[in-house]
């Protein structure tokens, strides 16, 4: 099936363009404080280019983030899964494997949703794909809501016990891609994070952010955080920026809660991340290739974006202390994340 681009147009000036290849968002237009729209995700000339550059703006599954041991055990059976990231003893499974959902060509249907124009994306992952057990049917709906937000809703069902952890790997730059995100301000409402080792895998420890560069409970200018990265052992491991899973300070409910904010003072654009998920991987594009040519003559590089990947904790199948991502027959995986936009009134 040949990939196609679908376009959603909101009543408030927002436009979303997405490819059926990996559900990749090739453009997300959001007005600035003057009302001028700008593309707030990094965009490359072709959707296929996104796959070679950090899963840019793609849907991720079956299991997002890293999985250790080359597999996992479920009901006494060890399931080996693809090792597609790292070298030598640091090799691990990442973002669904060699052919994760980012490389699927999804079936698509546009429809008028109750909250705004919507795009339904569906795919099927057969039993054994990338080593995972169970036939898995997946449905994702992108909606441009009337409250000026991009809403993502996920569902999945299986015919055999398996593991599922879906997310979206959007690379946000609220300047419209005019400059890197050093002057953006970030806040993540999380008191703890999952510590990583040299392979960027969880150690199993979930320490407090107190007294570390990962304390983002109050807004922090990203450029100041990058400057501190040289002295912070965790930030040094991940290339001098953010690439950590935060355990969110949820209020105990299962509904949508605001868990992060992102702001570009120059354009006035602000973004609020709402999710039903317990965790969020925040990645400041530390490993993006220098001189990467984007659309319209843009040139990107490290720290030109920030990703807010709502999820369960990485390596959950091998970490008994982390919440389970097991999905059984007869149960429905369901998750919602919303990226809501507005502007400040400053001159």
Catalytic choice (50, 169, 184, 312): 169
Q: What is the mean pLDDT of residues 116-120?
A: 97
pLDDT at 148: 93
Q: What is the mean pLDDT of residues 21-26?
A: 98
What's the whole-number average pLDDT of the chain?
95
CA–CA gap between residue 164 and residue 158 (Å, rounded): 10
Domain boundaries defined on the chain: 5-343
Q: What percent of the chain has pLDDT over 70?
A: 99
312-326: b (≥16 Cβ within 10 Å) or e:
bbbbbbbbeebeebb
252 versus 124: the higher-pLDDT residue is 124
pLDDT at 152: 98
pTM for the model stands at 0.97
109 burial type by CB count under 10 A (0-12 exposed, 13-18 middle, 19+ buried): exposed
CATH fold group of domain 5-343: Beta-galactosidase; Chain A, domain 5 (2.70.98)
Locus of tokens 């707030």:
40
Q: What is the mean pLDDT of residues 21-44?
A: 97
Catalytic choice (129, 309, 312, 338): 309
Q: How confident is the model at residue 30 (pLDDT cuts 50, 70, 90)?
A: very high
Q: Which of 32, 335, 6 is nearest to 168 (CA)?
A: 335
Other CB atoms closer than 10 Å to residue 28's CB: what's the count?
25
**Annotated catalytic residue 73:** no
Other CB atoms closer than 10 Å to residue 234's CB: what's the count?
17
Q: What is the mean pLDDT of residues 151-170?
A: 98
Q: What percent of the chain has pLDDT over 90?
A: 90
pLDDT at 253: 79
pLDDT single digits (tens) 239-295: 899 999 999 999 877 789 999 999 999 999 999 999 999 999 999 999 999 999 999
The tokens for 239 are 């290339």
Residues 173/306/86/124 CA torsion (nearest 10 deg):
-80
CA–CA gap between residue 234 and residue 222 (Å, rounded): 16
CA–CA gap between residue 309 and residue 312 (Å, rounded): 10
Q: Is the dihedral of CA 335, 282, 98, 19 positive or negative?
A: positive
Q: How confident is the model at residue 230 (pLDDT cuts 50, 70, 90)?
A: confident
Task: Please name the helix (run of DSSP H) or strand (run of DSSP E) that holds residue 119, with its range, or none.
Answer: strand 117-125
**Annotated catalytic residue 169:** yes
Q: How confident is the model at residue 146 (pLDDT cuts 50, 70, 90)?
A: confident
Q: Is the dihedral of CA 341, 345, 346, 347 positive or negative?
A: positive
pLDDT at 347: 54
Cβ–Cβ under 8 Å, residues 73 and 57: no
Cβ–Cβ under 8 Å, residues 312 and 322: yes
pLDDT at 346: 64
């Amino acid at each position: 099936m040949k990939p196609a681009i679908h376009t959603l147009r909101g009543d408030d000036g927002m436009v979303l363009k997405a490819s059926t290849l990996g559900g990749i968002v090739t453009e997300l237009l959001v007005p600035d404080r003057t009302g001028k729209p700008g593309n707030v995700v990094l965009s490359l000339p072709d959707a296929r280019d996104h796959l070679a550059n950090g899963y840019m703006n793609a849907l991720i599954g079956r299991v997002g983030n890293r999985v250790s041991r080359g597999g996992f055990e479920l009901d006494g059976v060890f399931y080996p899964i693809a090792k597609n990231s790292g070298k030598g003893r640091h090799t691990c499974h990442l973002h669904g494997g060699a052919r994760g959902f980012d490389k699927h060509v999804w079936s698509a249907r546009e429809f008028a949703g109750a909250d705004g124009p919507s795009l339904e994306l569906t795919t099927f992952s057969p039993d054994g794909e990338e080593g995972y057990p169970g036939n898995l049917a997946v449905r994702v709906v992108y909606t441009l809501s009337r409250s000026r937000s991009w809403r993502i809703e996920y569902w999945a069902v299986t015919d055999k016990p398996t593991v599922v952890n879906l997310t979206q790997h959007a690379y946000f730059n609220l300047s419209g891609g005019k400059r890197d995100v050093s002057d953006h301000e970030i806040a993540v409402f999380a008191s703890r994070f999952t510590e990583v080792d040299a392979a960027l895998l969880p150690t199993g420890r979930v320490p407090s952010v107190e007294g570390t560069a990962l304390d983002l409970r109050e807004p922090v200018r990203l450029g100041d955080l990058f400057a501190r990265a040289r002295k912070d052992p965790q930030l040094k491991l991940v290339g001098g920026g953010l690439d950590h899973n935060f355990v969110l300070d949820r209020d105990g409910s299962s509904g949508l809660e605001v868990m992060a904010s992102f702001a570009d003072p120059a354009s006035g654009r602000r973004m609020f991340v709402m999710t039903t998920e317990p965790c969020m991987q925040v990645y400041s594009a530390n490993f993006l290739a220098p001189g990467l040519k984007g659309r319209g003559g843009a040139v990107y590089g490290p720290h030109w974006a920030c990703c807010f990947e709502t999820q369960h904790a990485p390596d959950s199948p091998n970490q008994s202390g982390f919440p389970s991502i097991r999905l059984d027959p007869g149960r429905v995986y369901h998750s919602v994340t919303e990226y809501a936009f507005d502007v400040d009134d400053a001159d």
